[in-house]
Amino acid sequence: MNLLIGKRERKEYIIPHFHEDTSCGKTVREHWFENKTNNITLFISGECKTVDMMEKALNNNYKTVLLIGPTIAQSNKSLLVELKEKFNQEFKIFQLPQRPEGHSTLINNNLFFEDEHSVEGDYEWAQVIENATKSEIDFFKAGFLADVNLAKELTIEDLRNIPTYPDL
């Protein structure tokens, strides 16, 4: 990262999902946990394929809020339930009546936006904003909160009973 007189430089770029069997998005987001600037992570996920990122956040003492649709990936359901049981107060999960389209993540001051994709497909590209401005973060949080207000907060029992997609 470039440093400008003690401040981190804002960077914006586009990355592919995969490069030589490596998930570029996962690599970028894992790096963001190294320099903790706040203690909250926000995830908007359609099928909940990024449950490993949530696990990393919770294990690093981040309060984590997840916004999902009515159905999640079968392969990640058990880990999601385990995380909710272990970190019930730190891990809030909200369910929208329909699958959210704008899958994205806020970790510290960094934003990650997947391109739109179907349930069966992975995103191809993602927009990354490292060290986003306060107005960019506020804009993201406002949209996130608007969606949360339309969603139902899930209990552990609700999560156990959530429908699943076959392995994606």
Domain ranges of the chain: 42-116+132-168
Report residue 1's pLDDT band, with 50, 70 and 90 as the boundaries: very low
- Give the SS3 label for residue 110: strand
Judge whether residue 5 has pLDDT over 50. no
pTM for the model stands at: 0.84
Residue 65: strand pairing partners = 42, 92
- Is the Cβ–Cβ distance between 78 and 99 less than 8 Å? no
Q: Is the dihedral of CA 165, 126, 93, 51 positive or negative?
A: positive
Residue at token pair 């992570």: 41
Give CA–CA dist 36/107, Å, rounded: 9
Decide if 65 contacts 41 (C-beta within 8 A). Answer: yes
Distance CA 103, CA 105 (A): 7
What are the tens digits of pLDDT across the range 123-140?
556 788 999 999 999 999
The radius of gyration of the chain's CA atoms, rounded to the nearest angstrom, is 16
